[in-house]
Structure 1
C-alpha cells in the first residue's frame, strides 16, 4: 500500500488536487476489477484538520495537519497550486517541514504553481522544473532552477524522486506517469480510458497543443476543414 498525500490550503486550485488523486483512486478501481487489493491510500493534509475552502468556493476536508505527519510514512507527497499559494511562499514552518520531508518520502512533486512553494523551500535548486505557463517567469527568478516551461511535467522513472508539473490537467498526466511507473503501462492506459482521456500525454509534450491554434470563428469558410483535419491525419492531406 502506497500512501499518497496532497497538501491543501485556503484558495487552492481544486482540480490540482482532485485530478491527480482521482487517477490513483481509479487505479485502485482497475485493480479491484482484477481481484487485486488497492495499491494506494489517499490523504489530504492541511494547516489543521478540518474543512479548507478552495478557489472554486467549495471545501475539501483535511484529515490531518501536515505538521503531525511523519513524512517517512508517505510514499508520495504532492504540493498543488492556486491563488492561495502566495500566502505560503514565506510560511517558514511549512517550508521547513517540506525540507525535512524531502529526503524521507520516496517521491515529492508539485502540480501547477505549487512549484513556487517547492522553489521557495530551496528544493528545486539544481533540478529541472516546470509550472503553469502563467507562472514560468516567476519560477525563472530562481537562478539555480533549470526552468523548462514548455513541458507538461518533469517526472522521469530514471530520476523519480523530485518532479513538477504544469497547470491543472497536467497534474492528471503526471499522476498517470506515476501509476505507470508503479503498476505498469496497461493499468495507466486503463485508467486513462476510464477517465475518458483522449490520450496519455508524455511529460515532454508542450503545454500548448497545435490543435488549439485554429479559430474557426475567424474563418467560417474553413471551419469544417479545421474540424476534419485532426480526425484524418492518416490520410493524404496534400
Structure 2
C-alpha cells in the first residue's frame, strides 16, 4: 500500500490536493474492479497549528493532520507538497519539516510551486526539477544548485518527482500510478477521468512536444512513446509492426488490446493533437504543421480536421489560437 501524505500549505489552489486524492481513489476502484487490492491511501496535512487549510478561492478544507502532529522520524511512503504556501514563516516551517522527514521517505513529490519548498529544504540540490513556467527563472536564481528543467511538465530524478503548473500534477500522478500499478491500470484511470495517460503531441510546458517517460511500461507502451517522439516518420501499421518485430496482423491485435484502439487510430489521435497544439500556440504555416505532424501536406491536415472536428485548420486557429498570435 502506497500512502500519500498530501501537504497543503495555506492559500493553495485546493483543486491540486483534492484532484490528486480523487485520482488515487479512482486507481483503487479500478484495481478493485480487476480483482486486485487497493494500492493507495492518503491524508491531507495542513502546515499551520490547526486543521483548516484556506484556499486562494476562499474555500477551505479540513486536513486530517498538521505537520506539528506528525513526527519527522516516521517512515513515509510518499510525501507530496502541493504549492509554495504563503509567507516566509510557513515556508521555513514546511521546508524544515521536509528536510528532517525526507531521509525516511521512499518518494518525494512537488506540484507547481511546491518545488520551491523542496529546494529550500535542500532536497533538489544537484537534481533535475521543474515548476510552473512563469517561475522557472526565479527557481533557478534562488537555488542555483538545482538543475531546472524548462520543458517537461513533470520530471523524475531518482525518488524525487516535480511537476509544472497545477494540472500537470495530474499527469505526474498518472505517471506514478503507471510506475506502481502498470500501464493498463493507469490508462483506465485516465480514461475514466477523460484524461490523456500521456498528452499526445507533447508534454512540453506551454508549447512544444513532450519527451515520453523513460519508465519501462512494456512493448506497446514503449512503442507509443516511440510514436510520440517523431510523428513525421513512417507510422504505418507495417512500419510499426516491423518496429515491434511482429506480423502486421498479430501486431494490430496486440496493440488494439493494450492501447484500447487500433494502431492507425492511435497514430491519427497523436498527430491531430499535436497539430492542434501547434495551431493554438504557434504561427507556423499550415503546410509546415502538416509536415511536422506526419500529415504530409495541408490538404491531408484539412481533411482530418474537417472529419474529426468539423473545422478547417485555419478556422480552428482563429477560434482557439493564442491571443498574441492574432
| Same fold flag (TM > 0.5) | yes
Calculate the TM-score normalised by the size of structure 1: 0.83
Please name the residue that 1:76 is paired with: 78
Please name the residue that 2:150 is paired with: 149
Please name the residue that 2:279 is paired with: 214
Please name the residue that 2:297 is paired with: 237
Q: Which whole-Å deviations, capped at 9, do the CAs of 1:18-40 have from their partners, x for residues lacking one?
A: 23222211100101212322111
Pairwise CA RMSD of aligned residues? 2.7
Greater helix share, 1 or 2? Answer: 2
Check conservation: 1:151, 1:205, Cα contact below 8 A: yes
2-structure distance, mates of 1:42, 1:6: 7
Distance 1:150 1:235, change over 3 A: closer
Greater alpha carbon shift after TM alignment, 126-135 vs 45-54: 45-54
The structure with more radius of gyration: 2
Please name the residue that 1:132 is paired with: 132
Distance 1:101 1:174, change over 3 A: same
Please name the residue that 2:190 is paired with: 192
Task: Considering Cα pairs closer than 8 Å and 6+ residues apart, tell me whether 1 or 2 has the greater RCO.
Answer: 1
Distance 1:170 1:66, change over 3 A: same
Distance 1:90 1:140, change over 3 A: farther
1-structure distance, mates of 2:58, 2:37: 35
Check conservation: 1:50, 1:61, Cα contact below 8 A: yes
- The Cα shift of 1:90 comes to 6.4
Is 1:33 equivalent to 2:33 in the alignment? yes
2-structure distance, mates of 1:39, 1:48: 30
Check conservation: 2:13, 2:55, Cα contact below 8 A: yes
How many residues in Structure 1 have an aligned counterpart in Structure 2? 222
- The Cα shift of 1:235 comes to 4.7
Match 1:164 to one of 143, 162, 165: 162
Check conservation: 2:186, 2:197, Cα contact below 8 A: no
2-structure distance, mates of 1:87, 1:96: 14
Q: Which whole-Å deviations, capped at 9, do the CAs of 1:47-85 have from their partners, x for residues lacking one?
A: 234221111221111111112224534211111126xx2
Distance 1:52 1:177, change over 3 A: same
2-structure distance, mates of 1:184, 1:14: 28
Unmatched 5+ stretches in structure 2: 209-275, 299-326
Unmatched 5+ stretches in structure 1: none
Please name the residue that 2:109 is paired with: 109
Please name the residue that 1:118 is paired with: 118
Check conservation: 1:19, 1:171, Cα contact below 8 A: no
State the secondary structure of the residue aligned to 1:103. helix
2-structure distance, mates of 1:95, 1:235: 49
